[in-house]
Structure 1
């Protein structure tokens, strides 16, 4: 690999980027063949919790469809929404009740339907017992509404300490962190009880999602229910003739575990989420549940007709990876025709027999049920799962129907045309485990996250190539911008890498190159691993667009 042409604080040399040590050994140029073999195993990173609740059989609970939020005002060319973050009690497992933290009282939260170029302002009211932060994942959002992890919305009884907050587990004392487990962010902008987030929606139509992004506590907050969908549409996409209306189905896939009385099980060091971040030792690499939920329901079934359907799929799990496959009852695979990725439509459709998906990735798929017998089930299964985690959901084909939808051979002509020679600099980043002050953490470029430190500075409008390398599974997410995947392990990208992405799934020992243009807005943003436990334990870095 050529050397980096820009040596920022986290821009590593070739020798440094290939040195990912700790418990996972050392990768060097000579060992990349070994790394490629590692990339095929294991199937996941993390440890699975075991539910003690009585679990229902699969395909008994109807698939819920998230409610679409209604604006409280459309004045001035902006759609205004009010969402209250509050605790609620819901029946997720039949016959048991579960306490959740929610947007608007439901899990998933209400879906926001937006039009390209029409701004949306959401007033979030915090009625939870802890601070919150809202991030619109995949949004081209001004920095003051991007949901930076220290820009807290404080609840009524929370002490007013806007610049100091509990530090990350095992990370106090050095690298800019204060003693006593606290750290300081002089740029934090906090509010009490509520905050307005404005999303311009000046971007390609796509499926986005919003979730809590509070520093150190993102993982348990999402686990408790703080996640919802945000869809951007435009007239061009609407005119393509893709399946629509009841044949367009959002699917938020998550995994959870439950105690005998129906409560969510999660291995927090401090279940109040107030003073001590982190999880117990067995789960430092990520928390996996043994119950697969789709739109908040366990192994649900959806009744539908024998036509094409558009599945707007989000992996909102903390750490679980899936490899999805659609099987008829007689064992036939149905094609999964990918029409879109994280950041909107592909140029042309890509047909998959199986489709891997990492935490935070979105896939826009069309599946045709026309060949499935009436009355039969089509199972959506996870080839990476075992036992109950192999099942995801099912579709019951109830009736024949006419189908006037289509999949055009050309889907989009507005994808950015970035070339390697357009990049003004190349940067290298290693995502690895490490030891910090006697504790375990997850590092980017050898350092844990510090909100007071600028890690990467990029002039607005510059195009860059980033080379990423991982020790274990790391789904790497960039805020503000989408990117194209140029290579994996020095080879062409995989079929599911097509299109414009904002999250790239790195497998164990794997490297990837991505290219992007940093446009849109100036300000402070993030890039991080979207294994939520990893990001809570230091695997984030600051990106300053100037």
Structure 2
């Protein structure tokens, strides 16, 4: 008992003094209040330009850690929350005000995993690894993309058109869209994993009359939650020193070598510390009523499996209600009761619109935690996948009076499950390949496929994939392009169904811009027939009817990011409308996207596509 008291006392002293508790740099959870980013509401005149400047900013991520140098939009991390009305045309000047010669905020290292050792990349500090000098010398070169928003004049963000100090990226956003939560971040080619990690992210909210009519919680009771995992360097880089506050991007070099290059395979970044709005494990004071939380996963690669728990780490049912996803409100609210440990999952770039009902929790505290696979809520994962489960804490006080808000039975009356013209839509197959695939350069890829005659293809051969579907028919597909090769042409206004088939790559979230999509189905496939060494199938990958995969209620609304697990086909259906120009669909795992896991496509007027002999 005395040892426990002494440990608690040491933690209190450490929290007060601002030093790390103990030599392992362990931080006290829920020590700091949640920071809410500022709100900007651009003028209604489309000729007016709103400047949002990128600037260096010092952020106190935790009271026990020295301030951290980061880059922020408008001088804050995350950047300001942009609010616009549907149809309110807005021009934003994303201006780079990061002075030349400014040090890049991120220390990047790669640590090789020793045989039998737990993965070290998800632990604080860099274990003596030397920083990557090329990353340290990177200039402040940035281009901003607004996920979900078609830009005026057409086209998607172009990663190679980034700007340096003093440069401005002027973009016009029509915002002709139902109420939704978009978000913005850096997209600079090849370096977005470090620029976004440095803090360049923020939220944009589109409002409309349908949402207003619901009377949802607003003002101080509508709170953005930007989740991002981070790692921090130590004053003693080898081991044992207190956390320095310096951002650390640490990846692991897996000892198995790629058969072609002979190089170790580099895993995407996963950090030990979860930040919410830039603060590690914050708390939020609330009252016993309804709150609305607009959540986005701005992490480089981490997928969160969230559970609301009490002080004893038991799930708390009846509090969380999911009301919206990437593209806006769901048709109806979805209660999230965490039955049988089922979490609320959010992958990088996904958004969740949540209502939390604190009415029965006055005088209590509840916590949002990240549940590792196979672990009970709140329990650290011994393999270091989730070394610290904490996310944030809600401290519930008694309010001045009862909350009269009533959860609507119907949220979006304008939602259409099937639209005219959708049944006859064009179908495409995109496969996700494992990082060990021949010619893939130690990384997963996206391949666009076209159906061909099996006799002409002559399988097995590189780039040839055979698929046995639910009806038992075997279809043969040939890879059209990979990497920088030309992408497909899509007719503006057309409905398309894209089938995303994961042939053994890690779970991958895929972002499809411009189109408003729904998940039309999830199907299990046996993918043993795909041979990475060949780069094709030796036997058809086959539909596995014994492993039924239901589309969860939270995926039955509009989305633009889709989680695709190994051995799974996800069919997404939507209409590509609202803009012409060049676009790119991509993995939202930034380390994969920077390495080339994105593919271009172009949207053309239908008449032009037909005249040009396109698809």
TM-score (norm 2): 0.68
Structure 1 equivalent of residue 352 of structure 2: 363
Where does residue 254 of structure 1 map in the other structure?
Answer: 228
* Corresponding pairs, count: 444
Q: Which residue of structure 1 aligns with residue 587 of structure 2?
A: 529
Aligned to 1:404: 404
| C-alpha distance in structure 1 between counterparts of 2:429 and 2:387, whole Å | 39
- Partner Cα distance (1:220, 1:332) in 2: 35
The CA distance in 1 between the partners of 2:183 and 2:148, in whole Å, is 7
Partner residue, 2:69: 99
Alignment of 1:72-471 (within 5 A): 74=43, 76-77=45-46, 80-94=49-63, 95-128=65-98, 129-142=139-152, 146-155=156-165, 193-260=167-234, 261-267=244-250, 284-329=266-311, 331-335=314-318, 336-353=320-337, 354-374=343-363, 376-384=364-372, 386=381, 388-400=387-399, 401-418=401-418, 422-432=423-433, 433-434=435-436, 439-445=441-447, 448-450=482-484, 453-470=485-502, 471=505
Show CA shifts across 1:493-535 (max 9, x none): 1222120000011123221101011111111011011011111
Q: 1:18 maps to which residue?
A: none
User: 13, 17, 27: which one pairs with 1:56?
Assistant: 27
Q: How far apart, in 2, do the equivalents of 1:283 and 1:97 lie?
A: 33
Q: Which moved more, 1:377-386 or 1:335-344?
A: 377-386
Q: 1:410 to 1:527 in 2, by over 3 A?
A: same
Q: Deviations over 1:276-333 (max 9, x none)?
A: xxxxx87733100000000000000000101111111111111111111112235351
Tell me the distance in 1 between the aligned counterparts of 2:390 and 2:361: 19
Q: Secondary structure at the match of 2:554?
A: helix
Q: Is the 8 A contact 2:251 2:266 kept in 1?
A: no
Alpha-carbon contact 1:431-1:539 (below 8 Å) kept:
no
Shift in Å at residue 57 of structure 1?
0.9
Equivalent residue runs for 1:535-546 within 5 Å: 535-546=593-604
Q: In structure 2, how many angstroms separate the alpha carbons of the residues matched to 1:404 and 1:465?
A: 43
Work out the CA distance in 2 between the residues paired with 1:436 and 1:155.
40
Find the residue that maps to 2:245 and give its secondary structure: coil
Q: State whether structure 2 residue 565 is matched by structure 1 residue 507.
A: yes
Range with bigger deviation, 317-326 or 123-132: 123-132
Structure 2: distance between partners of 1:434 and 1:461:
38
Shift of 1:405: 1.7
Task: Provide the C-alpha distance between the structure 2 equivalents of 1:282 and 1:391, rounded to a whole number of angstroms.
Answer: 32
Tell me, which stretches of 5 or more residues in structure 2 are unaligned? 1-22, 99-138, 235-243, 253-262, 338-342, 373-379, 448-462, 464-480, 525-548, 605-615
Question: Which runs of 5 or more structure 1 residues have no equivalent in the other structure?
Answer: 1-51, 157-192, 270-280
CA contact (8 A) 2:152 2:171 kept: no
Distance in 1 separating the partners of 2:351 and 2:506? 21
Counterpart in the other structure of 2:537: none
Task: Return the alpha-carbon distance in structure 2 between the equivalents of residues 398 and 492 of structure 1.
Answer: 39
Q: Is the counterpart of residue 479 in structure 1 residue 463 in structure 2? A: no
What SS is found at the alignment partner of 2:444? Answer: strand
Answer yes or no: is the 8 Å Cα contact 2:370–2:390 preserved in 1.
Answer: yes
Contact 2:154-2:579 within 8 A present in 1 as well: no
Q: Could you tell me how far apart the structure 1 residues matched to 2:155 and 2:39 are? A: 22
Structure 1 residue 449: deviation in Å?
3.3
- Which protein has the larger Cα radius of gyration, Structure 1 or Structure 2? 2
Residue of structure 2 in register with 1:12 after alignment? none
CA distance 1:138–1:469, change in 2 (3 Å): same
For 2:460, the equivalent position in structure 1 comes to: none
**Structure 1 residues 75 and 492, CA gap change in structure 2 (3 angstroms):** closer
Contact conserved, 1:70 with 1:81, CA < 8 A, in 2?
no
Kindly indicate whether the alpha-carbon contact (under 8 Å) linking 2:93 and 2:168 is maintained by their aligned counterparts in 1: yes
Aligned mates of 1:421, 1:93 — CA distance in 2: 50
Partners in 2 of 1:233 and 1:443 — Cα distance? 36
Contact preservation (8 Å) 2:46, 2:89: yes
Residue 32 of structure 1 is matched in structure 2 by none
Counterpart of 1:439 in 2: which secondary structure?
Answer: coil
* Whole-angstrom distance in 1 between the partners of 2:251 and 2:94: 25
SS class of match (2:233): coil
Specify which of 495, 498, 506 is matched with residue 553 of structure 2. Answer: 495
* Equivalent pair of 2:522/2:568 in contact (CA under 8 Å): yes
Tell me, what secondary structure is at the counterpart of 2:220? helix
